[in-house]
Chain A
């Protein structure tokens, strides 16, 4: 039972344009969501998070949007840079779970110069 889903395995965008990565979840108990970036043979690096009491959180070029009614979140990267090319994982947790994270399958983002 995949509780966190990233339906696009890959995304390709031009440098300078917006990258939009999507994530859907099914567990209504999830109340904290995170995005991680991962390069091959390395551990994930934390990018940005959002609590369920918010619908938007922004940090520099990265913005995460949360639509609780649709159980959907997205990560926007503007402007996209070639160095952003990596696999992006969406993750979710519920307060009572003691920070256990459930990950999506990941989306490979390629930013072309």
Chain B
């Protein structure tokens, strides 16, 4: 089945550091990928929609200069948390849907646990 790989799975870093998270679709092409954030015991909240070859679409309240998204190929999207602070600590998850099959559900990566000290 469809597989989405997310890397790294866990990051601990100092405040002020920028952190890049990769999301890859391993056996399918994804024109669109999605980035979510989940705080403990809360729902997954969509942060942005990543579009291959064009600018990402951010949800209301999400700072695009803080969370840089690049979707340079049909199998890779990256999320960079710039100048991360403790309040950015969260579980970040990406998802992707096979471009060739409009009725397929989104498949998720295993997430990245980001801890900012």
Q: Across the A-B interface, how many residue pairs have beta carbons closer than 8 Å?
A: 53
A contact face: mostly helix, strand, loop, or mixed = loop
User: In the complex, which residues 92-113 of chain A have their Cβ closer than 8 Å to any Cβ of chain B?
Assistant: 98-106
How many chain A residues touch B (CB < 8 A): the figure is: 20
B contact face: mostly helix, strand, loop, or mixed = strand
Q: Whole-angstrom distance from the CB of A95 to the nearest CB of chain B?
A: 10
On whether the beta carbons of B34 and A100 are closer than 8 Å, the reply is yes
Closest A residue by C-beta to B10? A41
Query: How far does the alpha carbon of A45 sit from the alpha carbon of B9 in the complex, in Å?
Result: 16
Which of B9, B43, B109 makes the CB contact (< 8 A) with A105?
B43
Closest A residue by C-beta to B44? A103
Q: Whole-angstrom distance from the CB of A26 to the nearest CB of chain B?
A: 15
Given A100-B49, A104-B43, A106-B43, CB of A43 within 8 Å of CB of B93: yes
Given A43-B4, A99-B32, CB of A89 within 8 Å of CB of B46: no
A34 within 8 A of B: yes
On whether the beta carbons of A103 and B43 are closer than 8 Å, the reply is yes
A59 within 8 A of B: no
A80 within 8 A of B: no
Interface digits, A61-89 against B, CB 8 Å rule (1 contact, 0 not)? Answer: 00000000000000000000000000001
